[in-house]
Amino acid sequence: MTFLAKLNGAMARNQSLWCLGLDPNPEVMPEAYRRPYDRDRHHLHAVEILWDWMQYIIDSTADRVCAYKPTLGFYTALGAPGLDLLAKTLAAIPADIPVILDAKHQDLSSSTVLAQTAFGQWQVDAITLSPYLGQDLAARFLMYLDRGVFISCYSANTTALPLQNYPHPGNPLYLELVQQCQTWGSWEQLALEVGSAQPAALAQVRTLAPERLILARSIWAGTTDLPVVRLGDLLQAGLDAQGGNLLLPVNQDVLATADPQALIGDLRDQTQDLLDRRQQASPHCTPWMPNVCTLTPQPHGDLILQLFDLGCIAFGDYVQASGQVFPYYIDLRRIISNPQTFDAVIDAYGDVVRQLVFDRIAGIPYGALPTASGLALKLNRPLIFPRKEVKAYGARRLVEGNYEPGETAVVVDDILITGKSAVEGAQKLQSCGLLVRDIVVFIDHGGGARERLAAQGYTAWGVLTITEINHTLYETGRITEMQFEALCSQESDQEVGRQSA
């Protein structure tokens, strides 16, 4: 899963734009930890105290924030035990909350190793970098396609102002930097960090980078209180046109309080109120929010609920092309009208397709063609498609797009029932000299189609099974027991059919 997909998932699940710094800064320690820490300052035990504190912060805030941001400097400042503390802290963060390592790294020669350590060993989802070594530095980290990079492009430090505004505030260096960053990496990977208590700088950056994720910083400078009006101004300045792509920093003073949970909860609710009001004032594409909490989360649980809420999964008696009657019908064609769901579906396909070796992505019309197009753009791989019907005029091509015989195409279809559509598409591609090994579908109905495809030399990959969908919908109260049972009994009929076949 990409950093952005993980972040969007956490934002939707916790209904939060708030990101919390996990900084074991002894100077802002709550009183209860401070006394034993001061006593043991020079002993390993001091790091144990910091660990207790970090663990408490994570445990009490994990359902209220959308990301954690440990500052590398606080850990390295503690010497060798500090890096152990970082590893323990990272391990305590729930896997579905993204971690942004605040490194502000700016040394080119150590970048390759830091990228390996941060993304490989520590498994953080994103990192912050200083900007002035240019794209060379960012490139070392952008090589990890599923991770994010934040370029720090504005600082709230007053002594930084003359530099940032050079040569003059009407044409400042920091905005040139934002423009340059636009060419360094895709909007899915490269984000911007803007530190300012005033919304003006944030608004300027947003204007130049309308589609990027922005991490606002220093919004609490000089205050412990963020009046609703000011929060509203910051949202107005930093949110993108769809009302997203903005991360707000929790005041670090929260770490020192007895009840960080309540304070972040209040911030979250205030922000949600303002977002709801914005949404009502300009109805656009309504962001989907889950209204349930599952005890046994399914990795694609939110996506299943979104699909159901969009009307892509209907229950009733539906006749299939094969003549069989199923107790459900899946209509994935609807996702194209909801950018949030469409994007999440493409991401989920992407997680599977990225693992495969191929030259072209081949979408099966009509249902899977939009998704295959999105996937090709997202993975930066060429797209082709076998026509459903061949035109009797013009070029009369069976396969649209450019390709060379001998190249390998991965077939992308929406649903696998009998496998007929996918195989027909694959055969058209093969008749034009392309090789087809892998067929990737979003939903695998089960019932032996995979095995039948395997017998014809294809490997089928599915993002979701109908069984997973059925269980998630039932556990979250979206379908009745009768609907759940109807699908279960069909699954067991198929199982019997498969065994006796």
Ligand X SMILES: O=c1ccn([C@@H]2O[C@H](COP(=O)(O)O)[C@@H](O)[C@H]2O)c(=O)[nH]1
Q: Does 420 bind ligand X (CB under 6 A)?
A: yes
> Within 13 Å of residue 259, how many CA atoms lie on the same side as its CB?
5
Determine how many CB atoms are found less than 10 A away from the CB of residue 16: 26
Q: Which residues of 404-424 are buried (b: 16+ CB within 10 A; e: fewer)?
A: eeeebbbbbbbbbbbbebbbe
d(C-alpha 7, C-alpha 27), whole Å: 30
Q: Is 351 annotated as a binding residue?
A: no
CB of 5 to ligand X, least distance (A): 24
d(C-alpha 110, C-alpha 405), whole Å: 43
d(C-alpha 399, C-alpha 446), whole Å: 29
CB of 435 to ligand X, least distance (A): 21
CB of 278 to ligand X, least distance (A): 36
**Residue 105 or residue 445: which is nearer to ligand X going by CB?**
445
C-beta of residue 400 within 8 angstroms of C-beta of residue 384? yes
**Residue 347 or residue 413: which is nearer to ligand X going by CB?**
413
| Residue whose pair of structure tokens reads 């209180």 in the numeric block | 225
d(C-alpha 426, C-alpha 399), whole Å: 11
Q: Is 97 annotated as a binding residue?
A: no
Which of 102, 125, 413, 444 contacts ligand X by CB under 6 A? 413
Within 8 A by CB and 6+ apart from 481, the residues are: 474
Residue 17: closest CA among 214, 305, 209, 160: 214
Residue 185: closest CA among 361, 352, 2: 2
Binding piece for ligand X, criterion CB under 6 A, among 2-10, 13-21, 225-233, 328-336? 328-336
Edge-first strand order for the sheet with 383-386 is 399-400, 383-386, 360-363, 408-416, 435-444, 459-465
CB of 380 to ligand X, least distance (A): 25
Residue 181: closest CA among 203, 145, 152, 217: 152
Q: Does 438 bind ligand X (CB under 6 A)?
A: no
Instruction: Collapse the DSSP code of 117 into the 3-class scheme (helix H, G, I; strand E, B; otherwise coil) and give the result.
Output: helix
x/- binding map, residues 220-259, to ligand X, per CB under 6 A? ----------------------------------------
**Residue 320 or residue 431: which is nearer to ligand X going by CB?**
320
Q: Does 440 bind ligand X (CB under 6 A)?
A: no
Q: Is 421 annotated as a binding residue?
A: yes
From 69, 104, 378, 428, the catalytic residue = 104
Q: Annotated catalytic, 69?
A: no
| Residue whose pair of structure tokens reads 């009840």 in the numeric block | 259
**Residue 304 or residue 416: which is nearer to ligand X going by CB?**
416
Residue 235: closest CA among 227, 225, 226, 246: 246
Q: Does 462 bind ligand X (CB under 6 A)?
A: no
Q: Does 429 bind ligand X (CB under 6 A)?
A: no
Q: Does 392 bind ligand X (CB under 6 A)?
A: no
Instruction: Please give the residues from 87 up to 146 whose contact with ligand X meets the rule CB under 6 A.
Output: none
d(C-alpha 183, C-alpha 206), whole Å: 16
Q: Does 371 bind ligand X (CB under 6 A)?
A: no
Q: Does 414 bind ligand X (CB under 6 A)?
A: yes
Q: Does 418 bind ligand X (CB under 6 A)?
A: yes
Binding piece for ligand X, criterion CB under 6 A, among 5-13, 389-397, 415-423, 489-497? 415-423
- Site size toward ligand X (CB under 6 A) is 16
Q: How far is CA 82 from the centre of its chain?
A: 29
Binding piece for ligand X, criterion CB under 6 A, among 60-68, 165-173, 181-189, 321-329? 321-329
Instruction: Collapse the DSSP code of 71 into the 3-class scheme (helix H, G, I; strand E, B; otherwise coil) and give the result.
Output: strand
Q: Does 388 bind ligand X (CB under 6 A)?
A: no
In Å, how far are 14, 115, 223 from 219, measured between CA atoms?
Answer: 21, 29, 9
Residue 189: closest CA among 158, 163, 151, 244: 151
x/- binding map, residues 329-348, to ligand X, per CB under 6 A? xxx-----------------
Q: Does 465 bind ligand X (CB under 6 A)?
A: no
Binding piece for ligand X, criterion CB under 6 A, among 49-57, 96-104, 327-335, 338-346? 327-335
Q: Does 416 bind ligand X (CB under 6 A)?
A: yes
Which of 367, 386, 446, 462 contacts ligand X by CB under 6 A? 367
Binding piece for ligand X, criterion CB under 6 A, among 46-54, 220-228, 407-415, 469-477? 407-415
Q: Does 417 bind ligand X (CB under 6 A)?
A: yes
Reduced to 3 DSSP states, what percent helix, strand and coil does the chain have, rounded to the nearest 5? 45, 20, 35
CB of 130 to ligand X, least distance (A): 49
CB of 99 to ligand X, least distance (A): 38
- Residues facing 386 on adjacent strands: 399
Q: Annotated binding residues for 5-phospho-alpha-D-ribose 1-diphosphate, as ranges?
A: 387-388, 391, 413-421
Interface residues with ligand X (CB under 6 A) are: 320-322, 329-331, 367, 413-421
Binding residues, by number, are 387-388, 391, 413-421
Active site residues: 104
